[in-house]
Amino acid sequence: MNALRIFILTIAVAVSFSVSAGPNDPLFVSLTTDEPHRARMALSFGKHHFDNGHPLSVFLSDKGVFIGVKSGAGKYAEQQTLLNDIMKAGGQVIMCPMCLRHYGLTESDLLPGVKMGSPKVTGDALFKDGTKTMSW
């Protein structure tokens, strides 16, 4: 996909989210990629709507776990800055424990503030009334 198509798709998604969301509907971003550009798009999109009043939960799963661990600091500095900004402002970042273990990582590898997921933690964010979900 070329850059123009990606830009147009991103704008279309943002417009459709804005039109169908209530003024304070929560946003659940499922981030499964470790590709830096796609991860930056997901986090920037989430942060934009979070800054506009939508509670935000970012769920890091599959290869997305590499964005939320200390060893990713070099490759994912910009993405980790976005995660830290989101958490400092009251958003939450949830790590998939099964995915973390799959890649040989442990809870001690998490960035400060990242929550370990569980059926309750993740479910409470995902199934909150009015929640909209985006996936990258």
For residue range 60-113, what is the model confidence (pLDDT) as tens digits? 999 999 999 999 999 999 999 999 999 999 999 999 999 999 999 999 999 999
Q: How far apart are CA 80 and CA 121, in angstroms?
A: 21
User: In three state form, how does the secondary structure of 27-40 look?
Assistant: EEEEECCCCHHHHH
User: Could you give the number of structural domains in the chain?
Assistant: 1
Cβ burial 57-70 (10 Å sphere, 16+ → b, else e):
bbbbbbbbbbbbbe
Residue 82: CATH number of its domain: 3.40.1260.10
AA letter at 98 = M
Q: How far apart are CA 114 and CA 48, in angstroms?
A: 20
Write out the residue range of the structural domain in which residue 18 sits.
3-135
Give yes or no for a contact between 66 and 31, defined as CB atoms under 8 angstroms apart: no
User: Of 9, 8, 28, 44, nearest to 135 (Cα)?
Assistant: 28
Q: How far apart are CA 47 and CA 53, in angstroms?
A: 10
AA letter at 1 = M
For residue range 21-72, what is the model confidence (pLDDT) as tens digits? 677 999 999 999 999 999 999 999 999 999 999 999 999 999 999 999 999 9
